[in-house]
Structure 1
Amino acid sequence: MKNVTFFIILTLLSSLGFAQNVLEKIPIVVIDRLLFLEVKMYNADPLHFMFDTGAGITVMDTETAERLKLPFSNEIKIGTSGKTLQAKVAENQTFLIGEKFKLDSVNVALLDLSHISKYLKVKIDGIIGIDLLQQAVVETNLDKKQLILYSTDNFYFQGQTKPMALIGLESNHLGLPIEIVPKGSKQSIAMIVKIDTAAQNYLTFHQHTVSEYRLIEKDKRYKTKIGFGADSTLTHNLTGKITSTRFAGKKWKNIPVVFEVDELNRSSDRKAHGLIGQKMLLDFNITYDLSKGLIYLEKRN
């Protein structure tokens, strides 16, 4: 009996010792495959922010910033999908997420996001990504429709999937390995893709990848896709298909992709071959643990 009692006490102490700290749970909303959450500033009404893993800096819409009287004191250069922009910055700002989690020391860049609001038919106050990912372990649980924040101090993953190591890219971007089989080939190609929760499609291949691996078939006609990023500059690229792709233990066949051919998308410093978008990422509940350089992609029910 004493041994049983000792075992129970030891189990309880172990549970307490390894109990992880859930910092906050808030609703997450999916609009046209994009993820949105509410944040607060200056005791004002909640703001509608997009969660974008490709956002190397937090961005606020011009109209929203003017309404909040955000104190912009500096300027920086921001790289978007279209071009490099000069943007005003409000330094060392604090956001409140949920009732208690404070996101401190955030530099906020000012950009006109009205074109995104118009496209999605909903007001977009801002875009947040790396600043949130660097201050907490972030879980986007689509089955529960929640964004869950954990302390980085004692986090341990409680799901079934194995972690994948994140690959550091330029501008605080995050990459993962993927395999593809192009049309007209039976050979798989190993690539690195940037995780981009602001991309609504399956996969996009950068211009240098399209050229190096000859992803565009000769004498084949492709449709043009007009796109834009955080700025309103339009890009004109091509849409096509690949035979298959494997990612995080799952396989997709005959999926539509985007081939970047627009000169505005040309960049020599891109480490990734392309980016992976929400049409694939939404198949998973994802936990980002940047403190350990890991990501968990758990297949949804």
Structure 2
Amino acid sequence: MINKHVVIPVLLSGSTDTLRFVFDTGAEVTVLDKRIAEKMRINSGHQAFMSGTNNAMVKTQVVTLNALYLKELRIPYVNAYLENLDHLGEVDGVIGVALLKLYIVKIDYHQQKLVLYRNGKTPIGNTGRTLHFQLNYTTPVVDAAISMPDGRTLPGHYHITTGGDYGILFNWPYVDSNRINSLPTINTDRVQDMVRVLYYINATIPALQLGGQTIPNVPVSYCKDINDVGVFTQIAGSIGYEIWKQFTLTINYERKELYLE
């Protein structure tokens, strides 16, 4: 764990240096730090757009990695977007869907292990619960509900974002329509995004109901510039590390199943 991120050791073809990649279920593309690409002289590729906040598009270079290795696991021909990742600290890249779609992935926060199974039936125990999720483009989306201090219970659709260093990050339209900005402010954060500086307001809600579990005193954040558009419905926001760290997650991307222990 580095700064609340699940970080896994990665090797790239043509190099013996071990790199550190954040594993994020909300990452729709694989990202490689520009300085690593320059060091390895990976500079042939093409220009493409990737979305920033509020769906702002940023033009960046995309390269094809001949192979990406996780121990003995080899993932061939991975397209990687080149970006400056200084804001993530000691991290060289981000990988998400490229890994999720190939295997059933188990994240054990307590043991700090990432376990990969062949696709097929979800391997589950007897102490957890299976939730079915939808895909918003390529990001898993699960149903949950929040409790507000005024007694309201608000249902919503949330991205499963293991790489998010927050409890819940709300989308602004959901904040606006449900008066979530009426929550008492605890503090604010100034964060540099790909496109601009963002200002986050941090608060707390009494509870989150997810998969038959009630998680009390959940930290939440929102920003007027945050709005992940939903392809099928309104997305309330993203559920991040502060929630997922309390569980062991098994994600079967192929069958759209999330198992919580």
Superposition TM-score, scaled by structure 2 size: 0.90
Partner of 2:53, secondary structure, is coil
Does residue 208 of the first structure (1) align with residue 169 of the second (2)?
no
Partner of 1:174: 140
Distance 1:142 1:217 in 2: 33
| Identity value in percent | 20
The 1:267/1:48 distance shift into structure 2, 3 A limit, reads: closer
1:274 aligned residue (191, 216, 237)? 237
Paired position in structure 1 for 2:106: 139
Q: Structure 2: give runs of 5+ residues left out of the alignment.
A: none
Question: Conserved in 2, the CA contact under 8 Å of 1:81 and 1:228?
Answer: no
In the other structure, the counterpart of 2:2 is: 31
Contact 1:93-1:108 within 8 A present in 2 as well: no
The answer as to 2:226 corresponding to 1:265 is yes
Indicate the residue corresponding to 2:131 in structure 1: 164
1:175-254 correspondence to structure 2 within 5 Å: 175-184=141-150, 186-217=151-182, 223-229=187-193, 231=194, 233-254=196-217
Higher percent of residues as helix: 1
Partner SS state of residue 135, structure 1: coil
Deviations 1:199-229 (A, max 9, x none): 11211111000111111229x6663222345
Structure 1 segments (4+ residues) deviating >6 Å: none
Rounded to whole Å, the distance in 2 between the matches of 1:227 and 1:54 is: 19
CA distance in 1, matches of 2:111, 2:252: 19
Distance 1:249 1:136, change over 3 A: same
Deviations 1:225-266 (A, max 9, x none): 22345x3732112122222211122212233211222xx324
- Alpha-carbon separation, structure 1, partners of 2:48 and 2:41: 19
Give the 3-state SS of the residue equivalent to 1:216 in structure 2. Answer: helix
Could you say which residue in structure 2 is the equivalent of 1:81?
53
| Equivalent position amino acid for 2:130 in 1 | P
Number of equivalenced pairs: 256
Q: CA deviation at 1:169?
A: 0.8
Amino acid at match of 2:160: I
Deviation track 1:7-53 (CA, whole Å, cap 9, x = no partner) reads xxxxxxxxxxxxxxxxxxxxxxx122210001111242111101111
- Output aligned runs, 1:36-185, within 5 Å: 36-41=7-12, 42-81=14-53, 83-91=56-64, 93-98=66-71, 100-117=72-89, 123-152=90-119, 154-160=120-126, 161-170=128-137, 172-184=138-150
Give the structure with the higher percent strand.
2
In structure 2, the residue corresponding to 1:69 is in which secondary structure? coil
Output one character per residue of 1:243-296: Cα deviation in whole Å (capped at 9) or x when no partner.
2211122212233211222xx324655741011110110011111111111111
Larger gyration radius, structure 1 or structure 2: 1
1:40 is paired with a residue of what secondary structure?
strand
Q: What amino acid is aligned across from residue 212 of structure 1 in structure 2?
A: S
Q: Secondary structure at the match of 2:174?
A: helix
Structure 1, unaligned runs of 5 or more: 1-29, 118-122
Which segment is superposed worse, 38-47 or 54-63? 38-47
Question: For 1:52 and 1:268, how far apart are their aligned partners in 2?
Answer: 19
Query: Aligned letter for 2:200?
Result: N
RMSD: 2.1
Q: What secondary structure is seen at the aligned counterpart in 2 of 1:34?
A: coil
